[in-house]
Amino acid sequence: MEKIIEYIDDYLRVNNLIQIDAVTANAILAKAGILRDSVDRLGKPLRELLRKNKIPHAFQNGRNWIIPKSDSKVTFINKQESDSKYKTAKKDSFSKFQIKDDSILPLKFKGITQINAIPALPGIYCLKIKEPSLLPEIFCSHLIDRGHDIIYIGLAKNLKRRLNQELFAKGHGTFFRSLGAVLGYRPEQGSLLNKINKKNFKFSAKDEQEIIKWIVENIELDWILIEGDLNFFEGNYIRKYKPLLNIDKNPLKLLELSTLRAECVEIANSMNFKAL
């Protein structure tokens, strides 16, 4: 077992990754002749070890097994914990549904590790940064001018699914793309050339991991459940708070952000992009 943990640690270090999923991990262990993989159920032998807690620092994000470096501080709440927190959160969130002023968000921000407590229900989500100075100077300055730390507000018919997309790059998160661009990341050249949608650029797997790590460390979230016109509430909140990374419906949308996003789209759609 020590050999397995050691090999995964080495692999993560050499490839500059912070974590690996069970299927990929079993594949590299099989290639190294350490742990044979299942032909029809990829990753199954390793998952069985994980379920027996043979790799104690591994954890589940939703259903997926994640193995960070053995000395990593990255952890998520386990399933039992998340189930109980889910029930509590659901109750709390419904209580927040009593909105008296539809332009003011009744929020109590929490760390990203509370992602599993978010219900799969419709509502508005709100993301704030712990410290504006973590952003590049120009964006920090804009945020300070707005007098709050809220950087993004969005709506979702399914908050759990949408926030997994936005915060963990499991889909096409507008917030994730905007934040990555603001932090200085760019998509791989030509990565959208063979795609039908020429706008939904993605960062490299390594960059995605770094952005996710940044989000986990520096972003807090909250949400409210809403049954009704989500667009109406979202529009009101965006007009009220003018979040830094919202473009749509935002009276103070940033030209700098639109320019960065356009640059990313251009890079992803070109093999010979040269930055100015």
How many other β-carbons are positioned within 10 Å of the β-carbon of residue 45? 17
Side chain identity, residue 99: I
Q: What values do phi and psi take at 21, rounded to 5?
A: -85, 165
269 binds DNA (CB under 7 A): no
110 makes contact with DNA (CB under 7 A): no
Torsion on CA atoms 207, 244, 252, 153, rounded to nearest 10? 100
Q: Which residues of 207-216 are buried (b: 16+ CB within 10 A; e: fewer)?
A: bbbbbbeebb
Tell which one of 196, 255, 271, 276 touches DNA (CB under 7 A): 196
**Span of 70-78, 137-145, 153-161, 214-222 interacting with DNA by CB under 7 A:** 153-161
Q: What's the CA gap between 121 and 105, in Å, rounded?
A: 18
Q: Sketch the per residue contact string, 7 through 26, with DNA: x for CB under 7 A, - otherwise.
A: --------------xxx---
State whether residue 205 is helix, strand or coil.
helix
The span of 83-91, 142-150, 167-175, 267-275 binding DNA (CB under 7 A) equals: 167-175
Query: Considering only residues 114, 246, 254, 268, which one is a binding residue for DNA as defined by CB under 7 A?
Result: 246
Q: Does 171 bind DNA (CB under 7 A)?
A: yes
Residue among 133 and 270 whose Cβ is closer to DNA:
270
Q: Which of 12, 29, 55, 65 binds DNA (CB under 7 A)?
A: 65
Q: Is the dihedral of CA 7, 9, 14, 18 positive or negative?
A: positive
Sheet hosting strand 19-21, strand order edge to edge = 19-21, 64-68, 59-61
Q: Which residues bind to DNA, rule: CB under 7 A? A: 21-23, 40-43, 47, 50-51, 60-65, 120, 122, 154-158, 160, 162, 164-166, 168-174, 178, 195-197, 199-200, 202, 230-231, 234, 246-249, 258, 261-262, 265
